[in-house]
Amino acid sequence: MAKLKIGVFGGYRGHTMINVLFNHDDAELVAVCDKYQPLLDRVKKEAEEKGLNVAIYTDFEEFIKHDMDAVVLANYANEHATYAIRCMNAGFHVMTEVLPCETMAQAVELIETVEKTGKVYAYAENYCYMRHAFEMQMRYEKGEIGEVQYIEGEYIHDCTAIWPQITYGDPDHWRNRMYATFYCTHSIGPMLTITGRRPVQVVGFEAPLPQEYKSTAIARGAGIEMITLDNGAIARSVHGDLKREPASYTYMIYGQKGMMEAARFPDKERTIEGNGIKATYTEQLMHVYKEGEEYCKGEWEDYYPEPPIAKEKALEFGTHGGSDFYATHFFIEKILGRPDGKYAIDVYKAVDMGICGILAYRSVLNGNVPIKIPNLRNPEERDAWRNDNACTTPEVAGDQLLPRTSKPHDEIPAETYAYHKRLWENGNQTLKYGTEFELKK
């Protein structure tokens, strides 16, 4: 069988998918597009060392003409839907990085494009495949703790030090424009894949701004979503740049017959080496409680979960708790019509995850009122959202532009962005306390 020919758009985070494609039995990397030449040079060099031929492009319009079966979109987080729609209309299967869409209008158009073209769409929410989250899904599906009553998802990642490296000092970079509840699917996604439930209502909150926001440019608080699921269960999601190290990606679920949770601080370090990649990550102990024949009596299990599917291959990829292999692998399996393709996240589930954050911000801006989450699987629920372009990107929102924070704030001084740009240009330096003094130089 000929290998699937796959191209990657966006070579920074996209390098994760590039690595998987360099080493996959059923697919090959044929093209990469990024406007930042050093990222392309790196891929070219790696491909040559492996004796592979990978075309490189700086222009998407040329890239999309390449002979490919599928495209991975790891470009800007707010532009995925636009490019996914273009790629599916051009005949390609598509997998996108997080997030699925920037607006409600895009959510509708994305779904309708998948339905119209019949192409495979997969959402690369890798946190659903983290060792503990995936294990919870497997055990929940077997009915081991009964139906969900309450669930928590947490993605706390303080990016302050690396902010110049991931925004390049560009005031218009999507990370500099994103609002509190936008980047929500690392915490919400696993709650929906573990339980298989659909969100029906959301109440959003924004925590206070970080006190140094004028020099760090992170002018938004952490995002919190309280979500009602379609069986009445309550889900709590929290994400953002709160203070803790290492980052936290943890989930906890209470069902009618027991509960599962992962340790809040990873404790077992494991170094994985394979395919030229060496990654060290820390494993999270999982705890599972199952009630027995009597009320309030049951048994605990405490263990480190192993990858449940394609274990040997998955173990070669250590990044993001071992989850980074699966998104690309399941996308390939789905295109090939294989059973494990069922673990790829489809467009409806992806949109459910993403619009929780979009609508949570409406709630935040309106005094934390509850907002109903439409079921966009139903065509009759789509028209109400078809022209809803509200977001924080002026070119997309037009007259529906939203503020990037609900909190009173001063504008970020131009010197802050200029300083971040200098740090990035001078060898990707990190941001340190004392930035205020640097800005005055």
Ligand X SMILES: NC(=O)c1ccc[n+]([C@@H]2O[C@H](COP(=O)([O-])OP(=O)(O)OC[C@H]3O[C@@H](n4cnc5c(N)ncnc54)[C@H](O)[C@@H]3O)[C@@H](O)[C@H]2O)c1
Which residues of the shown chain bind ligand X in the complex (CB under 6 A)? 10-13, 33-36, 39, 60, 74-77, 97-98, 126, 166, 320
Identify which of residues 75 and 228 has a Cβ nearer to ligand X in the complex: 75
Give the per-residue SS3 of 207-268: CCCCCCHHHHCCCCCCEEEEEEECCCCEEEEEEECCCCCCCEEEEEEEECCEEEEECCCCCE
Please name every residue paired with 261 in a beta bridge, in sequence order, or none if there are none. Answer: 252, 287
Cα(19)–Cα(190) distance, rounded to whole angstroms? 24
Cα dihedral across residues 385, 103, 403, 367: positive or negative: positive
- Given a contact cutoff of 8 angstroms between Cβ atoms, the answer to whether 312 and 139 are in contact is no
Q: Which residue, 33, 26, 37, is CA-closest to 8?
A: 33
Identify which of residues 13 and 50 has a Cβ nearer to ligand X in the complex: 13
Spell out the residues 6+ positions from residue 88 whose beta carbon is closer than 8 angstroms to its own. 94, 113, 114, 117, 119, 121
Identify which of residues 259 and 396 has a Cβ nearer to ligand X in the complex: 396
Please name every residue paired with 8 in a beta bridge, in sequence order, or none if there are none. Answer: 32, 72
Distance in Å, CB of 291 to ligand X, minimum: 35
Identify which of residues 60 and 304 has a Cβ nearer to ligand X in the complex: 60
Cα dihedral across residues 52, 55, 60, 66: positive or negative: negative
Identify which of residues 170 and 438 has a Cβ nearer to ligand X in the complex: 170
Distance in Å, CB of 75 to ligand X, minimum: 4
Distance in Å, CB of 80 to ligand X, minimum: 6
Identify which of residues 164 and 305 has a Cβ nearer to ligand X in the complex: 164
Token pair listed for 121 = 């769409």
Identify which of residues 103 and 126 has a Cβ nearer to ligand X in the complex: 126
Distance in Å, CB of 389 to ligand X, minimum: 19
Distance in Å, CB of 329 to ligand X, minimum: 15
Strands 93-96 and 70-73: parallel
Distance in Å, CB of 391 to ligand X, minimum: 15
Strands 121-123 and 286-291: unpaired
Distance in Å, CB of 286 to ligand X, minimum: 20
